[in-house]
Amino acid sequence: IKACDLLGVVEGITFLNTRLRTFDGKTFFVPNRKIINDIVINYHFSGTRRVMIDVNICYDQDLHKAKQVFESVMIEDPRIKEKPGPVVYVLNLASNSVELGGRCWVDNKDYWVTRCDLIEKTKHRFDCEGIQFAFPQLELHHHADRSHGGNCRDEDEMGVPVH
């Protein structure tokens, strides 16, 4: 469950508190009143869970090919449910990239390992197929406009040469 900003497994419940073991091995004794007053997410209430993986590709990449490769990575994994089947969406046309979102369903017990494997396989397949991931970047263009009184020489305001 996730409750009180903690993610872990409930190991026990008493009249006063709930014993929650986090995935890094810590044990928390959370007062029940805090859990009662908080939103509780139970990740194992249903048998399946949706995996969501978002990647960013460069604008000059073949969008159709990238979507096909991303989808095939999910389809080829035997842990991925056939219904509903895997799908890839164009989520956004961002300032530095095209954002793709891969969505598929897996058994709850397989969620974390499958998600990690899919990320690794997607990176490997994109590399093999020559599909470039985007990264944050900023392009600067400097135009010297000499028609508006701009300094045409390489001198500062005092006439001292600037190197």
Cβ(111)–Cβ(51) below 8 Å: yes
Residue 138: per-residue pLDDT: 75
pLDDT of 41 above 60: yes
Place of tokens 């590709």: 57
pLDDT-based confidence at residue 43 (cuts at 50, 70, 90): confident
Helix H or strand E encompassing 30: strand 27-31
Structure confidence by residue, pLDDT tens digits, 14-37 = 999 999 999 999 999 999 999 999
Task: Name beta bridge partners: 102.
Answer: 53, 88
Q: How many Å apart are CA 99 and CA 88, to the nearest integer?
A: 10
Average pLDDT taken over every residue of the chain: 91
Structure confidence by residue, pLDDT tens digits, 76-103 = 999 999 999 999 999 999 999 999 999 9
Residue 163: per-residue pLDDT: 58
Instruction: Pull the structure tokens for residue 89.
Output: 């969406």
